[in-house]
Amino acid sequence: MDRNELFNHLTQLENNVNRIQEDMQALKSLTVALVEENVALQIENDNLKTLMNQEPDATPVERVSNEQEEEKTPQKKQLQSREYFATLYHEGFHICHDVFGKHRNGQDCIFCMNILNDKL
């Protein structure tokens, strides 16, 4: 292998590494966007489930199961939402108003922490 060939080979390798790094960054951004969308959908789904359970005109079958759980529901629901916010924050997402559900990218957020301290 002559010197020219060696340098050409190194340049080619460098270009490949740079392209892989660009692909990696793009994949990272895409992953963050997908996870944020997943969190938003999960929250929407939970909200819809809660709304459905509160619906006064539930079908008889649903009413029976509602009545069975009626006594423990309020406290259980409050506890679930506290745990849910804490879990969401510890999984790396904002729970503060302005950027709710966005990824924190490893940064602590003082607004989220205020909410956590209020709720817990």
Cα separation, 17 vs 23, whole angstroms: 10
Tokens 């590494």, located at residue: 17
User: Which of 39, 85, 89, 109 contacts Zn ion by CB under 5 A?
Assistant: 109
Cα separation, 101 vs 1, whole angstroms: 55
91 binds Zn ion (CB under 5 A): no
Pattern of binders to Zn ion over 53-82, x per CB under 5 A?
------------------------------
Residue 35 vs 96, nearer CB to Zn ion: 96
94 binds Zn ion (CB under 5 A): yes
Cα separation, 62 vs 90, whole angstroms: 34
User: Which of 23, 111, 113, 114 contacts Zn ion by CB under 5 A?
Assistant: 111
Size of the site for Zn ion (CB under 5 A): 5
Structure-token pair, residue 69: 């759980």
Cα separation, 58 vs 81, whole angstroms: 23
Cα separation, 102 vs 50, whole angstroms: 22
96 binds Zn ion (CB under 5 A): yes
- Which positions touch Zn ion (CB under 5 A)? 94, 96, 109, 111-112
